[in-house]
Structure 1
Amino acid sequence: MRLRVATFNVENLIARHRFGTAARIETAAAMSLFEFSSKEHREAVERSVAVALEDDKRQMTALAIAEAHADILCLQEVDSLSVLEAFFANYVHRLADKRYGHFRLRHGNDVRGIDVACAMRRDLVAGPGAVRATSHAELTFRDLDVFDDDLAAMGRLETDRLFQRDCLMVDVDLGEATLTLFVCHFKSMSNGRDDGRIATRPLRRAEARAVRRLVEARFGPAVAEANWLIIGDLNGCEETIGPGARVIAEGESGLEPLTHGFAVNPLADLPAHERWTHFRRAWSESEGHIVERHMQLDYILLSPALAAASPAPEVEIVRRGLPYRVPLDPRQENRSLAALATSCDRYPRVGWDRPKASDHCPLVVGIDLPARRNPPQA
């Protein structure tokens, strides 16, 4: 059975124009230029700006989903089930050839209220009973025995919840076979600060260890023979790609419990200039200049059984929704404003920095699903 599975961080698909007291980055720039007579006046204008910008952005997000052409789509940074369903009804289904349903979302631990979610082709399964979702958001470091000295040094407690968002386990009965998805969104690198990657690595390492233990607990001794995927924005990488497609070793990512000898990352076999789903351009205090890096933050990790069944899986990364400031080919040496601004292969109305589909790319992997039924969940 052939399936196209995708992951996509859709960047704040939310019904709110603010995260508590913090303004969203999309509206903050324009709002900073104006003065308002009252807080109420400011909030009314901000809501109007947010709605207008959101419509442009979500048309592009929907285009990226349509281009991914996935049978199963895992998403990150979704506000609620109602927002997810409204987005598919009013944006995706006006553009895509496929029709999606079987939406699954459980509220997790993110302080902004953004969650992981899953959507599937309507005709992929027989009915709602064939898709079962289990949240692990309430598990603590102690529950899965992943607490260590590095976490203690960060001020974390054994009794704290370990997942920054969730690990949503989705069991799918496809008739002739079953598939289990572990949908994740790991701790971010603190918006790319120079020290953010290392400072937050203990949390990602704990999440990776926890996901591995959940997979092992789900399948027991048959873990290598089962059909499962670990999928989502894992926010870590052991390498980045610099200008000219120069590969830069970044050391430990925190994802090693998953990527070293447990699951298979199909992007690892791609040429260096293709192994990325995210781009960062920022000032580096330590280096004293602007640093540009392409990197893989989004993953579809295959079980050994799925990797063996798909020895050369089809891999696609949809990049046409990225803003013009992003060089789509890391081999490109000329990164002047003139060169980037005249690069084509973007969706209509994509801007220099915004609007855009997201700051991440949809990652799609085509797999051959063996006719095997995973053991029932205990």
Structure 2
Amino acid sequence: MSTLRVATFNVENLFARYRFNDSLSPRADDGFTINDLAFTIHDEESKRITARAIRATNADVICLQEVESLPVLDRFNSYFLGGMRYAHRVVIDCFDPRQIDVAVLSRFPITALRSHRQERNRNGTSFLFSRDCLEVELNVAGKPLTLYVNHFKSMMEGREATHARRKEQAERVAAIVNTRWKRGGYKGNFVVLGDLNDYPEGATALGALLDHPGLSNVLTRLPAAEQWTHYYAGGNAYRQLDYLLLSKGLAQTNAGAPAVMRRGLPWRAERLTEERLTGVGDNDPKASDHAALYMDLTLN
């Protein structure tokens, strides 16, 4: 059987910064340069904790949100994730004004990619996916696994005000899934995952995915009090924003529950009683404002 651990994690601002104050000679640096100005990972203290969270999760494939670029991901992997064996990495630059993209770190070969970055919304007024719906196909010991990696529109301007954008994104991802998998009864090895930036309850924009006949929100297999993946200090809110939506076939084969790795959250998230990772502060530094969500899967 082909088994692996799959995870999703919003790593919160995995950026680079220019090294103006390091008195470097760019020509003598290791080649990680732009316009002869060497740069390194921004906020290294926090990103070391982010790396500790990834190590604690120990996924074979981890899909990330809020990554600036492939060179930044490569540097992060090389400097902070040594020994994790993430030999296969991908980021495709998209159109978010903050320059945040979705990414994949994998121990298994990536055999195919498909980006939806150029798709327009229904009105043709903007790009539909500012952070892409990135299709990534992996070869897991001879069996294929397709991941649909997403980071939907945030609720920064309010849940209701941003509802329509997320709803259209969710409906398009559902349509992409239908085009490929409906004819086979959604029995294939595929997962829709990422930071979908809405709650599953109430007036959610995610109905096209959460109510989809071919997808299963496996986080509901945990007790209700354990389904939160994000802590918002402004409202002292513990809610689910991150999702693993397994195909119908994978959900039937894998009856277990996922896990949430929250030890990188700041101490201000008082509901969490677990010991924090080394270096975590009351507010900062931290691994992220999100927790990593992961599950061990046996492929069909």
- Which TM class, normalised by the smaller chain length? 0.7 to 0.9
The SS at the match of 2:51 is helix
CA distance 1:304–1:67, shift in 2 (3 Å): same
Match of 2:210 among 259, 262, 281: 259
Q: Distance in 2 between matches of 1:68 and 1:76?
A: 16
Which TM-score applies when normalising by structure 1? Answer: 0.70
Residue number in structure 1 paired with 2:191: 229
CA displacement at 1:51 relative to structure 2: 7.3
Deviation by residue 1:164-191 (Cα, 9 ceiling, x = unmatched): 310000011224311110000000001x
Match of 1:184 among 142, 145, 150: 150
Query: Stretches of 4+ moved more than 6 A in 1?
Result: 50-53
Q: CA RMSD in A?
A: 1.9
Match of 1:305 among 249, 254, 257: 249
Residue number in structure 2 paired with 1:161: 127
CA displacement at 1:52 relative to structure 2: 9.4
Structure 2: where are the runs of 5+ without partners? 19-38
Q: Distance in 1 between matches of 2:185 and 2:41?
A: 48
CA distance 1:51–1:108, shift in 2 (3 Å): closer
Q: Does 1:14 align with 2:15?
A: yes
Q: Does 1:368 align with 2:293?
A: no
User: Residue 277 of structure 1 aligns to which amino acid in structure 2?
Assistant: T
The SS at the match of 2:236 is strand
Q: How many residues align?
A: 278
Residue number in structure 1 paired with 2:112: 132
Matches within 5 A, 1:68-217: 68-93=57-82, 98-121=84-107, 124-125=108-109, 130-141=110-121, 147=122, 157-190=123-156, 196-217=158-179
Deviation by residue 1:255-275 (Cα, 9 ceiling, x = unmatched): 110011331011112112210
Q: Distance in 2 between matches of 1:238 and 1:260?
A: 10
Deviation by residue 1:4-55 (Cα, 9 ceiling, x = unmatched): 00001010101147xxxxxxxxxxxxxxxxxxxxxxxxxxxxxxxx979711
Match of 2:48 among 46, 50, 59: 59
Structure 1: where are the runs of 5+ without partners? 18-49, 142-146, 148-156, 240-250, 283-290, 330-342, 371-378
Q: Which has the larger radius of gyration?
A: 1
Which TM-score applies when normalising by structure 2? Answer: 0.87
Deviation by residue 1:344-363 (Cα, 9 ceiling, x = unmatched): 60122211110001111111
Q: Distance in 1 between matches of 2:58 and 2:208?
A: 30
Contact 2:16/2:40 (<8 A) preserved:
no
Q: Does 1:323 align with 2:266?
A: yes
CA displacement at 1:324 relative to structure 2: 0.8
CA distance 1:16–1:201, shift in 2 (3 Å): farther
CA displacement at 1:133 relative to structure 2: 1.6
CA distance 1:304–1:220, shift in 2 (3 Å): closer
